[in-house]
Amino acid sequence: MTRKLPLLVLLCTAWLGVASPASAQAQHAHVHGLIKLDIAVDGPSIVIAMESPLDNLVGFERAPRTDAERQTVENTVGTLRAADKLFDIDPAGNCKLGPVNLQSPALGLGQASAADAAGGGGAHADLDATFAFNCTNATAVKYIDVSLFTAFKGPRQIDVQIASPKGQFQRSLKRPNTRLAWGR
């Protein structure tokens, strides 16, 4: 009887593997080279939420250990805080950079949540960020030029979801493309 068990387990995992790779990826995507952006055009503001493996931005996924690594982290934080250079928004919106929030427990950025603290022993680490822009005409914005590929060597693809009064859009930018356009 016990002989049958491994086969059953094997079949189950095979079935799961075929049936749900997409949903598994969507739930916990940490793919080196990939950055995810969620862009919300809402009233007078555009908020860009970014989720990136730390490796994309600094080349490692732990606290910096050397002066060179500390310098890399410092440069990266500086680049991300100057987000109006990373995200060049269609001038039709007349947008100005507002608050930037960076979260990366591995780098000691932001406040570590209980979940982050619990999962802190893993081999991978992310940097999550939100970039808020205040606009006088946010709904007029039809494109954003994204400079993440020039600012950082790691990213190869940026998957984007845009929620705006004009609708929901999904876009994918691949190096070396930079223009994220939607609407009409």
Instruction: Give the per-residue contact string, 140-179, with Zn ion (x = CB under 5 A; - = no).
Output: ----------------------------------------
Kindly identify the residues of this chain, within the stretch 26-55, that bind Zn ion according to CB under 5 A.
53, 55
Q: Which of 182, 103, 177, 104 is nearest to 147 (CA)?
A: 177
CA distance 84 to 147: 10
> Which lies closer to Zn ion via its Cβ, residue 124 or residue 156?
124
> Which lies closer to Zn ion via its Cβ, residue 6 or residue 121?
121
81 part of the interface to Zn ion, by CB under 5 A? no
In the bound complex, what is the minimum distance in angstroms from residue 104's beta carbon to Zn ion?
A: 12
C-alpha to C-alpha distances, 172 to 75, 128, 180, nearest whole angstrom: 26, 19, 8
Residue for token pair 């001038």: 91
Q: Total residues contacting Zn ion (rule CB under 5 A)?
A: 4
The Cα angle at residue 150 between residues 145 and 151, in degrees rounded to 5: 100
105 part of the interface to Zn ion, by CB under 5 A? no
